[in-house]
Amino acid sequence: MTLFRRIDHIGLTPSDFGRSLAFYTAVLGFKAKERVEIDAPPIRGYIYLELGDTVLELLDVVDPAAAATEGRRVGFGTMAIEVANMDDTLAYLADRGIRPSVEPRTGAGGTRRAEIKDPDGLSIELRQW
């Protein structure tokens, strides 16, 4: 069984959410898939944009420059990998000494998500649709 399927999406924290949303949609032709408002300062929400089978997540962050001190800088911040089964994937990783840096939880549209870190401490999101 293949646990890891594909890159699920790329997360981007823009310096100006509205300007970037307009660029990715009006200029590059991405289409809005889902927009979610949340109360998780400094994050106000996010939108998933699709282009073919590629998904880009734009984070709407209050004062992105200041948020950099909390580990969220302007730019690409997360690689997300789609997994077939979250529980099986986490068990597989645990057998290799890898524990979630963010425990599994329900995400957008009833998906399940968790995060692990690569050897350099970079976040890799795991997403089960």
pLDDT tens-digit profile of 83-110? 999 999 999 999 999 999 999 999 777 8
E-only strand ranges, the chain: 4-13, 31-40, 43-51, 54-61, 75-83, 102-106, 112-117, 123-128
- 92/75 Cα distance (integer angstroms): 31
Give the pLDDT confidence score for residue 32 in this predicted structure. Answer: 96
What domains, with CATH codes, occur in the chain? 9-84 (3.10.180.10), 85-118 (no CATH)
Q: Tell me the per-residue pLDDT of 11-41, one tens digit each, with 9 for 90 and over.
A: 888 888 999 999 899 988 899 999 999 988 8
Element (H, E) at 74: none
pTM of the model: 0.67
Q: What are phi and psi of 53, to 5 degrees?
A: -100, 15
Please tell me what DSSP assigns to residue 52.
Answer: T
Cβ 101 vs Cβ 116: under 8 Å: yes
Pairing of strands 75-83, 54-61: unpaired
Q: What are the residues whose beta carbons fall under 8 Å from the beta carbon of 55, sequence distance 6 or more?
A: 8, 9, 10, 33, 48, 49
